[in-house]
Every structure is written in structure tokens, then in C-alpha cells.
Structure 1
Amino acid sequence: MRTLIASPFLGEHLVLRPDDPRAVKVGAHRYRDLLAAATRPDNVVPAWLADAARQRWDLDLAGRRLTDTVLVREPSALGYGRASYELNLGCNYDCEHCYLGVKRFEGMSWRARELVLRLMRDAGVLWLQLTGGEPTIDPLFSEVYRLAWDLGMVITLLSNGSRLHHPAILELLTSRRPYRITVSVYGATEQSYDGLTRRKGSFRLFSRGLEAACAAGLPVTLSLVITRHNEHEIDAMRTLADRYRLPFNEYSNISPTIHSGAETLPSQSAAFLRARKPFMGCGAGHTHFHVDPHGKASMCKVGRDSAVDLVTEGLDGLLRLGEIADGLMARTGGCSGCALSSTCFTCRPLARLYQESGAPLNRYCQHTGR
């Protein structure tokens, strides 16, 4: 199994380990040398790369075959760097705040998923986020994860942690280590956690999964989800993260569903409605994209209109995605001509969801006095 990946990434060239935040930036000429060496039957890890691997990761690659230790990825004419993939909208929880709304268990066949993963690789995707619903309950999770890893994509897994203790999943994640596993935390006690997820026993499964992942030395980060149901436990949730010595982020701004549904909004904690920084634009649709369970590629998880069908259109469809994204980012409706647009803190696709859901202005707009 290869140890390192060499790949273009947004105009640069990197050599990296799938589970390590440190990378080695190399020049275009050295990347081309690796591409050429990978085609020769007598290839050996170049001395410069062996030295870099020793210094950066304490790896001894001297004298080893290049193709046994480094996956050298082909360049892509599209040049995307990141993508997210929803394996399935289904979930074993029923959280009131979930932005997916109705969580149907739907997904593609393995043949279609394999095609989509290879298209992502061919589009240049190096960092891949696997999400859901809950991705680990998908019947093809292991197959998707394994192929994505083997294709040379660096994986971040978003999970509620409820199945991380399963032996097959642990074996997969320890043999093909992810870059990061982000585990959502919905409370610090069984009463609070199970109340938020609306699933009895969910706190027990979360705790068991977190214990197993930490014992296996997996790279876990916690996402503390704050709602009106658990805001009283925020300090205890932080203490939980500290007890496991895990880094954590806090998520507290609740959005409408992807269908502009307002059913999530009552779960917002008024005390933890955070002010966002001004939105300065992003590369959605240009440097990264999102794929839903049916193989539809959109600019991101929020802006899903005019999606490209990867299964039928392939890479040619992605050529349209930048133009689609630019159209969705244009200010329309109540946002067109806004005098405060230069300091707006909500991107246009998200603002549209808030508007269509009838959310209070203070959730997404500076014109709270109107």
C-alpha cells in the first residue's frame, strides 16, 4: 500500500501523506520527473524525495521503488482541488436542527458511485469530504471510502460517531487512515444528547464510537453543535473535548433546510446566534464542488440549483459548473442593489434559503431594522 501521494493542487504540486497535515511543496519540474519515473520499470525513489520524506515524516524511502511507495497522480485539465460527497441523505438520528430536512435512504448503485469517484479524481480532486446523512450507515460506505483512498484522495469523514466502534469500520480507517474524522457532539449527557437526536441510546453509541476511535489513534476533531436544547451543557461539552484531548469547533448558527424549510429554525439558541464575518467570496463551483447521493454536482452543499449530472454528462458537465456558480452568486430579489452588500455576511445561495423559509432578518441580514 502506497505511503505518499504526489499531486497537483490548485496551481501547485504537493507530496503528502493521507493522514498528516504536513506536506512538501515541489516545483513543476520535480513533479514531472516523478510522473516520468513512475512509468519506468526500474523506478526508484529519487534522492531528493527520500531526503524530504525523512525530514518531514521520518520515513525511510531510500532505495525503494517509487511505484510501491508514492502514488503519482495525473494532472487534470479541470484543476479542481476539493469536493464533498453525500453518500446518502439517510441517518440513524432525527435531529431537529438538521439542514437536510427529510432524510430519505437513497443512493446510487456501486457502478455509478465508482464512476463518480473516478470522475472526481480525473477532475483533480485531492481533498474529499465524505458526508451524509450519516455516511457510515450507507451499505456501500466501505467500498466508497476504500476506492476514494486508493485513487489518491485525502479523506475527511463527517460522522456522528455512532458506528466508529464497529470492527470492520475501525479496520478500514486504521489501514487506510483519513486526514480527519469530524465527529458531531449533540450534548454532554444522555438526556440532552438523546433528546436532541430524538433517538434513545444515541449518546451511548456516540460515546462508544468516540472511545474506539481515540483508542485506535485516529485523527478526530469534534464539532460541538449548540442549540436551544443543549445550550446549558456547552461548558460540559467543552470539558468532554478536553478530557479526550481533542481539538474542537463550535457550530451554533442554524440554517433552513436545503429545501428552504423553516422547521429547523426553532432549534436556534438565541444566546448563541453568532455574528459572521463579511462574506468575501469563495471558490465554490470553480475550485471545489459538491456531489449529492444521485451523482448531481453542484457548486456547494447550499447552492444546489442547476446541478450537473456526473453519471450522464461526465467531466464535460463540470465545465459548466463555474458559470452556474457565478449565476447563483449574483444578487437577486431583495438583495439586488443592496447598499450594504460589501459587508454582507451571507452568501447569496444561503440568503435565498433564509428568505424563502421566512426566517427572521437577524439570522442572515444586516437590515434588521426594516
Structure 2
Amino acid sequence: MYQAIVSPQESKFVAVRAGQQAAIQLPSAYYGELAEVADSDGVVPDWFGVAARQAWGIELAGRPIHDVLVVRAPSVLSVTYSRASWEINKGCNFSCEHCYLEQRPFAGLPLTDKLRLLDMLRDMGVIWFEITGGEPLIDQDFVPAYKRAHTAGMMVEILTNGSRLYRDDLLETFAVHRPHKITISMYGASPETADALTQTRGAFKSAYRGMVAAAGASLPVEVTLIITKHNVEELGEMRAMVRDLGLSFKEYGSISPTYTGKGSTLATQVPSMVGKSDIFQGCPAGHTSFHVDPHGFATMCKVGRDSPINLISEGPEGLLRLPGIADVQMLRTGGCSGCKISSTCRVCRPMARVYQEAKAPLSHYCQHGMKEET
């Protein structure tokens, strides 16, 4: 299986390797040389071998290029995007209280259309690709869909609760087709806590078993500690458990309403975690990235789902409308019109609208509400 990907990315050319943060930016002439070598079934040139050794500590010079590199051609379509996320299925084996999906029906495209969708994304230039759900690893088509994306030369990140990661078929798939990252959500340090938050008996046992298996297989895993009222007292233990497995982690406590504007999830929020996010400094969603739901409808992102575009019926050309749709959703309307301190706001407009539709207290998302409480 290949060791690195060489690809156009918007107006640039990059070489990237799954599981590695370091990337190599290539002048167009160097990318052109690698494309010519790939067309002629040649070997990796010495200059790229030196760059790969410096960036990733691997030896590629002189090896048959098709054995170690995927050299992706520039998109010939009128629509190009470098990033996309995909809900392969909203179905989930957990029923988390804080989930931003109000409903989680187990439904989606048949495998033939899943593969067709992935081919579209490849052809329009998507290289950074996130597969999510629901719980993506319970989808019956996950393995063939994942292999299609990986073989196409995508840097695939999987967002999962980890409960299926111990399965041999998945571990074998990831050993051969290594993902760029597997992000596992962790919901507690004990069965009582995790099972309560996920409203699923055995959730802790299966998720922890998955983390242990992923760590044992040396997969590129990062754990997200989901902080809620159920588990905040176990936060120190959660950190220690992840460290003991040799895994990195980040912490997430900004519980949001569902993307359809229901506020029941906010009951799990830890008040001290509100307002800890960075200042919002703009977002390219809809311009350089987009989201696709289980039925092939594309929107600017997971939250801003207005005016969805059916990629299965319209094809990539439908995305020509997406930048305009995204720009409309980013306008500060409603309660945010004329805000004097919008330059230091911590939420994007689509997310603010979700909070407003949920009739959430201002203190959950707005500086005005935070000031009132101090």
C-alpha cells in the first residue's frame, strides 16, 4: 500500500502522509515531474526521496513510484473542493444525551451510490476527508466505502465512539489502509458514568475495549474527552486512562443544541465550560469545504444545512450554488443584527441561529449574556 499522497490542493501542490502532521509543499514544476514519472511507471526521484526522509523519516528514493505514492491528477471539473465531511449514516448504537443529531435513523445510500459519491469527491479534488455519523463503524458498507476513499488518495479521518474498533475486520482494514486519524469520543471513566450519558448499557466496556485495541495496533488515534455534568467529576481519571494507553487527547465541553434547533442537549452542559472557545475568525465552509449527509445532500457544514444540494441527482455542478448559499447563512441576521462586539464573537452565525431557535440562554453562546452573569 502507498506511503504518501501527492495532490493538488486548491492553488497549491502538496505531499502528505497519513498520520503525520508534516506536509511538503511542491512547486508546480516538481508536481509536474512526479506526474510524468507516474505516467511512465518510473521510480521516485532522489529529490523527493530527500524531502520524504526529512519530513517523515521514510526511504522512498529509487522505489517504483506506484508502489509508494498516489499522484493525484488535477480536477478537470468546474467545481473543486479540497475538504469534505460525510455522514455515512446517522444511525448509532449509543443514544447520547448531548448529541447534536435530534434523530438518528439508520438509513442512507446503497453501496453503489456511496461509491459513486466518493468517486465524485475524488474527481473534484477532495483530499482531506472526514467520515462521521451517527456511528460510522456500524454501517454495513463502511469497509468498502472507506477502502474506496483511501485508495483514491484521501487523508481520511474517522469520528467514532470506539465501540467497534476491537473488531478484527476493522483492525485488519486499518493496518493495510492506514487512516490519517481516528478520533474517539470518550464519555466517562467508569461504566456507571459513560453508560448513563450514552443511555446505553455496556457503552463504556465496548468503547474502552476499542481504545485498547486501537492503541495496541498503533493506529493514529486522538481521544476527545466529552465533558458534561455526568462525567466532569471523573475528568482527571479520564485523562489518566488515555495517558496510560499512550494516546493523545483534547477536551470538549461546548455542548450545543441539535442542528435542528432543539435545546434538550443543553441540560448536560457544565456551566464553567461555556464560553471557552476561541474567537470566531471566519470560516471557508461552502467555499473550500462542504458536508454531505447520508442521502447524498451537500450543505456548507454539519450545522448550516439550509438549501441542501442533491449530489446524486445533480452531480458536482450542483455545488456551484454552494458558495452563495453559504454566504447567506453567514450573514448576521435576527438577534445578531447590528451587534457592536461581533468582532470578538465565539460562534459562527449558523451556530448562533441554532442556539436562538432552541431559545437557549444568551450565556451559552453570546458575550452579552456572559456579561449579564458577571
For the superposition of Structure 1 and Structure 2, which TM-score range results when normalised by the shorter chain?
over 0.9
Could you list the runs of 5+ residues in structure 2 that have no partner in the other structure?
none
Q: Secondary structure at the match of 1:303?
A: coil
d(CA) in 2 for partners of 1:231 and 1:19? Answer: 30
Q: CA deviation at 1:19?
A: 2.7
Q: Secondary structure at the match of 1:319?
A: helix
Q: CA deviation at 1:47?
A: 2.0
- Which 10-residue stretch deviates more, 193-202 or 76-85? 76-85
CA contact (8 A) 2:300 2:322 kept: yes
Q: Secondary structure at the match of 1:367?
A: helix
Q: Secondary structure at the match of 1:178?
A: coil
The corresponding residue for 2:87 is: 86
CA contact (8 A) 1:18 1:178 kept: yes
What are the equivalent positions in structure 2 for 1:301-340 lying under 5 Å apart? Answer: 301-340=302-341
Q: CA deviation at 1:345?
A: 1.5
What count of residue pairs does the alignment treat as equivalent?
369
Is 1:102 the counterpart of 2:74? The answer is no
The corresponding residue for 1:237 is: 238
d(CA) in 2 for partners of 1:224 and 1:64? Answer: 42
Is 1:55 the counterpart of 2:54? The answer is yes
Q: CA deviation at 1:98?
A: 0.3
The corresponding residue for 2:32 is: 32
CA contact (8 A) 1:252 1:274 kept: no
Q: Secondary structure at the match of 1:5?
A: strand
Q: Do the aligned partners of residues 201 and 13 (structure 1) sit closer, same or farther apart at CA in structure 2, a change above 3 Å counting?
A: same
- Which 10-residue stretch deviates more, 208-217 or 50-59? 50-59
The corresponding residue for 1:10 is: 10
Is 1:348 the counterpart of 2:361? The answer is no
The corresponding residue for 1:23 is: 23
The corresponding residue for 1:137 is: 138
The corresponding residue for 1:300 is: 301
- Which 10-residue stretch deviates more, 49-58 or 78-87? 49-58
Q: Secondary structure at the match of 1:323?
A: helix
Q: CA deviation at 1:277?
A: 2.5
Q: CA deviation at 1:242?
A: 1.6
Is 1:152 the counterpart of 2:120? The answer is no
d(CA) in 1 for partners of 2:2 and 2:277? Answer: 41
CA contact (8 A) 1:7 1:15 kept: yes
d(CA) in 2 for partners of 1:52 and 1:93? Answer: 44
Q: CA deviation at 1:36?
A: 2.2
After superposition, give the CA deviation of every residue in 1:57-99 in whole Å (9 maximum; x if it has no partner).
3333333222232111111253422111111111000010000
Q: CA deviation at 1:153?
A: 0.2
d(CA) in 2 for partners of 1:54 and 1:186? Answer: 39
The corresponding residue for 2:163 is: 162
Q: CA deviation at 1:101?
A: 1.3
Q: Secondary structure at the match of 2:283?
A: coil
d(CA) in 2 for partners of 1:139 and 1:48? Answer: 43
The corresponding residue for 2:361 is: 360
CA contact (8 A) 2:274 2:365 kept: no
After superposition, give the CA deviation of every residue in 1:283-310 in whole Å (9 maximum; x if it has no partner).
1011111111011111111001111111
The corresponding residue for 1:75 is: 74
d(CA) in 2 for partners of 1:190 and 1:6? Answer: 44
What are the equivalent positions in structure 2 for 1:163-312 lying under 5 Å apart? Answer: 163-312=164-313
d(CA) in 1 for partners of 2:68 and 2:86? Answer: 27
Q: Do the aligned partners of residues 339 and 55 (structure 1) sit closer, same or farther apart at CA in structure 2, a change above 3 Å counting?
A: closer
d(CA) in 2 for partners of 1:15 and 1:275? Answer: 34
d(CA) in 2 for partners of 1:15 and 1:341? Answer: 38
- Which 10-residue stretch deviates more, 108-117 or 337-346? 337-346
d(CA) in 2 for partners of 1:273 and 1:209? Answer: 30
Aligned residues with identical type, % of pairs: 47
CA contact (8 A) 2:215 2:247 kept: no
- Which 10-residue stretch deviates more, 242-251 or 96-105? 242-251
Q: Report the AA paired with residue 81 of structure 1.
A: S
CA contact (8 A) 1:9 1:79 kept: no
d(CA) in 1 for partners of 2:266 and 2:16? Answer: 41
d(CA) in 1 for partners of 2:365 and 2:149? Answer: 36
d(CA) in 2 for partners of 1:113 and 1:340? Answer: 44
Q: CA deviation at 1:52?
A: 2.1
Q: Secondary structure at the match of 1:163?
A: coil
Q: CA deviation at 1:247?
A: 1.2
Q: Secondary structure at the match of 1:102?
A: coil
Task: Quote the RMSD (CA, aligned, Å).
Answer: 1.5
d(CA) in 2 for partners of 1:232 and 1:351? Answer: 29
- Which 10-residue stretch deviates more, 133-142 or 272-281? 272-281
After superposition, give the CA deviation of every residue in 1:85-116 in whole Å (9 maximum; x if it has no partner).
11111100001000001111011011111111
Q: Report the AA paired with residue 25 of structure 2.
A: K
Q: Secondary structure at the match of 2:115?
A: helix
Q: Report the AA paired with residue 24 of structure 2.
A: V
Q: CA deviation at 1:20?
A: 2.1
- Which 10-residue stretch deviates more, 32-41 or 87-96? 32-41
CA contact (8 A) 2:275 2:364 kept: no
Q: Secondary structure at the match of 1:152?
A: coil
d(CA) in 2 for partners of 1:247 and 1:61? Answer: 28
